[in-house]
Amino acid sequence: MTQNLIVCGGIGNQMFLYAMYLVMKQMGKRVILDISQCNHLRTHNGYELSKAFAVEAQILDNESLPHRFLLRFMVEYCSFGLLYQDTYELDQPVFKTRRPFIRGFFQSDAYFQSCREEVISSFKFRNISDENGLFAKEMSEINSVSLHIRRGDYLTNDRYTGICNEEYYRRAVGYIIDKVPTPHFYIFSDDLPWASQFAASLGIDYRIVDFNRNENSWQDMYLMSQCRHNILANSSFSWWGAYLNRHEDAIRIAPATWDNYDSPQYNAIRVPQSYIRL
pLDDT at site 86: 82
Beta partners for 252? 230
| The predicted structure's pLDDT at residue 54 | 93
Decide if 236 contacts 105 (C-beta within 8 A).
Answer: yes
Ranking 3-12, 50-59, 64-73, 220-229 by mean pLDDT, the lowest is 64-73
CATH of 130-277, one of 1.20.1050, 1.10.287, 3.40.50, 3.40.720: 3.40.50
Q: How far is CA 219 from CA 8, 22, 249, in A?
A: 19, 23, 23
Judged against a pLDDT cut of 70, whether residue 45 lies above it is answered with yes
Cα–Cα distance for residue pair 37/41, rounded to 1 Å: 6
Q: What is the pLDDT of residue 87?
A: 77
Residues 198-214, mean pLDDT to the nearest whole number: 95
Mean pLDDT, the chain, as a whole number? 91
**Tens digit of each residue's pLDDT (9 = 90 or more) over 215-261:** 999 999 999 999 999 999 999 999 999 999 999 999 999 999 999 98
Q: List the chain domain ranges.
A: 2-122, 130-277
pLDDT attached to residue 41: 61
How would DSSP label each residue in 79-108? GGG-EEE--SS--GGGGT---SEEE----S
Say what the pTM is: 0.94
* Stretch 41-55: mean pLDDT: 84
Residues 106-164: tens digit of each pLDDT: 999 999 999 999 999 999 999 999 999 999 999 999 999 999 999 988 888 899 899 99
User: Is the pLDDT confidence value at 63 over 80?
Assistant: no
